[in-house]
Amino acid sequence: MNPLPLVAVAGSPNAGKSALFNALTGARQKVGNYPGVTVERHSGRLMLADGRPIELVDLPGAYSLEPASPDEAVTRDVLLGKQKGERQPDALVIVVDASNLDNHLRFCLQLLELGLPTIVALNMVDLASRDGLELDAKSLERQLGVPVVETVAVRRRGIPDLQQAIDDMLSAPFCGVPERVKSDLIHLQRRAREIATAAVISETPVRRWTHRLDAVLLHPVLGPVILAAIMFVMFQAVFAWSQTPVSWIEDGVGWLSGQASAALPPGLLRSMVVDGAIAGVGAVITFLPQILILFFFILLLEGTGYMVRAAFLMDRLMHGVGLSGRAFIPLLSSFACAVPGIMATRTIDDPKDRLTTILVAPLMTCSARLPVYTLIIAAFIPNTRLAWGIGLQGVVMFGLYVTGIFGALLAAFVLRRGVLKGSGGGFMMELPKYQWPLLKDVAIGILTRAQIFLKRAGTIILGTTIILWALASVPHAAPGQKQSDVSIAGKIGRGIETIVKPIGFNQDISMALLPAMAAREVAVSAIATVYSIDSADDQAGASRLEDKLQRRWSLATALAFLAWFVFAPQCISTIAVTRRETNGWKWPLFMVSYLFVLAYVAAGATYWTAVALGL
């Protein structure tokens, strides 16, 4: 069978390429990865008027065929037919920003030299006229020698014309343009300027919207204040809006496990389905609402053009530890959950900057650690008031967050001078014009993230939770024996205990560390389970978990446990997403090891200091 004709959508960053791609393909798109690199491949289908389907692929934005980032390298390789796992496109749709022709025509001219059938989409003509710029598409068409279609992708304007042009292009017999002489960039740039100037019908200097907004949003004082306010709203939303959907998911998971319990006969299979698969995946899925709300904000900030401004404001501070301003939003997102944080590092061009950000992201205190912190603090830290409105418990909680942040900055600093040495690509970014993104485009982005997350929950996380369950259930305890003593997990727990005993952890904690791999807050339910099993022979079995902890743990142990969780390298989802984003096991293994060492040292130091102080 002949493969479908492949049409590539190419263009410079901020030309509105993705919006145009979305407008052409709608939600019918596939997101994958190019083999060997962490660059996303977006593709979709388009029907021609005669019903023939074609495949459309959205290439990463590039300024030229001289790549300055892995994304741009993929674009070049696909266009030259050198990319593994991708055919050379049969035709091109080049997207250019009407108000930035001087720059975008350079890449366009370079692409025209490839000699493929081509259409140019003169995009965002509305923003150009908002800026007082009127362009002559016909003149452009004469100069470039290919059809030029005016579009406003985010408003879906000009899309039928573009579709018609693609149709005509693929229906007409293509004789092939003789390969032109490859020109160097400087000449292309000068020619681009000439063509751009010639295409201008009129230009009225108006005070540009973007400039006016930037005067406020990038103001040395107001800028950081507004950024802080936006971040505050974002986090409020992540935690407040997610409560209702989280309770739906919890109810759904509860209903499902109830149904499964009723449908399956008691025994190993029921235990595997209910305690293993449903409980394990259920615990991870409960984070889906938070992750999606976070992505809603990230995509909105990205789509409006504010994200780059946030990076601009924070760059100097991040630069101090060898990161770039681009790392700010991913790291901030990691306070909700490291998974979307690590996924958001794709906006960082420089591979070393990006890897450093991925490696330190788990040190940001994610929301899954909150239940653990809350429980231990409530049980061990007296609720004394230090000053008006400031309690000791709150101070400890704050201290745990700050420790995580400083840990991350320190780790980044060390990594950039050690394994990830070498100056990064620095910080060079275009500040695009502000615009309001189409909510449909944001929705498509969120849907894509949800798919990626659920797919992972369905495969890696399901697999691991079943393994964890199997370890905890096999061999089955005979009557009179405790399951936790007999099972393989129990034996592993005792093995772990010999390692963590020096840092003050008892057997209960060792037992909880293993299931906490599925999701950190599972540590709480794991400890609760251990104590509810043991509470049969405990007179005060009905007492609260906090009271039980107080009786069994010393304060030094509790503090060591908190210190452990600041660094704890324990989250299957984070390890899985790191594997996916770094394309191999090397970096996730490195991350787990260095976090383990940090956690071990921090917990040990806390424990022995506390013991020495007589706590």
Which residues in this chain contact other proteins in the complex, by CB under 8 A? Answer: 63-64, 66-69, 99-103, 106, 185-186, 189-190, 193, 210-211, 214-215, 218, 220-221, 223-224, 308, 311-313, 315-317, 319, 325, 350, 423, 425-431
Cis peptide before 475 (omega within 30 of 0): yes
Encoded amino acid at 568, one letter: A
52 versus 219: smaller Cβ distance to other proteins? 219
State how far the Cα of 128 lies from the Cα of 134, in Å rounded to an integer. 7
Residues 328, 314 contacting (CB under 8 angstroms): yes
317 versus 439: smaller Cβ distance to other proteins? 317
100 versus 574: smaller Cβ distance to other proteins? 100
**Beta carbon of residue 186, minimum distance to other proteins (angstroms, whole number):** 6
325 versus 330: smaller Cβ distance to other proteins? 325
423 versus 583: smaller Cβ distance to other proteins? 423
185 versus 611: smaller Cβ distance to other proteins? 185
State how far the Cα of 58 lies from the Cα of 44, in Å rounded to an integer. 8
126 versus 167: smaller Cβ distance to other proteins? 126
41 versus 76: smaller Cβ distance to other proteins? 76
Residues 15, 23 contacting (CB under 8 angstroms): no
Q: What is the 3-state secondary structure (H, E, C) of 124-183?
A: CHHHHHHCCEEECHHHHHHHHCCCEEECEHHHCECHHHHHHHHHHHHHCCCCCCCCCCCC
**Beta carbon of residue 63, minimum distance to other proteins (angstroms, whole number):** 3
State how far the Cα of 539 lies from the Cα of 397, in Å rounded to an integer. 32
Three-class SS state of 92: strand
**Torsion angle (degrees, nearest 10) of CA 324, 330, 331, 332:** 120
DSSP-assigned states of every residue in 191-213: HHHHHHHHHEEEE-----HHHHH
DSSP 323: -
**Beta carbon of residue 180, minimum distance to other proteins (angstroms, whole number):** 21
Burial class (CB in 10 A: 0-12, 13-18, 19+), 199: buried
105 versus 500: smaller Cβ distance to other proteins? 105
123 versus 578: smaller Cβ distance to other proteins? 123
**Beta carbon of residue 189, minimum distance to other proteins (angstroms, whole number):** 6
Spatial CB neighbours of 564, under 8 Å, sequence gap ≥ 6: 503, 505, 599, 600, 602, 603
**Beta carbon of residue 183, minimum distance to other proteins (angstroms, whole number):** 14
State how far the Cα of 448 lies from the Cα of 31, in Å rounded to an integer. 7
**Beta carbon of residue 333, minimum distance to other proteins (angstroms, whole number):** 21
Residue with tokens 């992201």: 361
DSSP 31: E
**Beta carbon of residue 427, minimum distance to other proteins (angstroms, whole number):** 5
**Beta carbon of residue 200, minimum distance to other proteins (angstroms, whole number):** 11
172 versus 428: smaller Cβ distance to other proteins? 428
**Beta carbon of residue 216, minimum distance to other proteins (angstroms, whole number):** 11
Encoded amino acid at 52, one letter: R
State how far the Cα of 180 lies from the Cα of 197, in Å rounded to an integer. 23
**Dmax over Cα atoms in the chain, in whole Å?**
91
On the CB side of 449, CA atoms within 13 Å amount to 25
DSSP 272: I
**Beta carbon of residue 432, minimum distance to other proteins (angstroms, whole number):** 8
**Beta carbon of residue 605, minimum distance to other proteins (angstroms, whole number):** 32
